[in-house]
Amino acid sequence: MTRTLLVILAALAGSLALAYELGGSVGAGVAAGCLGGASAAGLGAAWQQHVARARPADVMRAHVEAFLLLLGACLSGGLVFRFVARAAERVDWRSYLITFATAGFVVMMAGAFDNARALRAPRATGGGERP
């Protein structure tokens, strides 16, 4: 997960610098979107890598689950920042959604490369496992 972690850190640094420049609710939307998207996608990539090492036959299911987690987090955050008045005052929902989608896509792509490497690695089998 080294590549994924580096991409998460770079995305956070870039988005926080952009959020500082934009300021206000738009900047808060950029910061919240990147934090949410990178964390949800990072969690999904970690889950995929765990499944790739433990049960390689279930990798596609884990990929769908990670995508559904990302979609649910994006939808729930977007709805909160759009329709809850106190949250909408502080965070622009449009900049949140754009940044969330961008950060989620970038982190999931980096995670895909790490997961492909995990699938290629030989699995260590213990003496007590059955075939």
**47: amino acid identity, one letter:** W
* Chain segment 88-109, per-residue pLDDT in tens: 999 999 999 999 999 999 999 9
> Is 78 within a domain?
yes
Number of domains in the chain: 1
Percent of the chain whose pLDDT exceeds 70 = 92
> Is 66 within a domain?
yes
> Is 130 within a domain?
no
> Is 87 within a domain?
yes
pLDDT for the residue numbered 15: 95
Q: Confidence band (pLDDT; 50, 70, 90) for 127?
A: very low
> Is 125 within a domain?
no
> Is 59 within a domain?
yes
* Chain segment 18-36, per-residue pLDDT in tens: 999 999 999 999 999 999 9
Q: CB neighbours (10 Å) of residue 97?
A: 19
> Is 126 within a domain?
no
Task: Give me the domain span that covers residue 113.
Answer: 2-119
> Is 41 within a domain?
yes
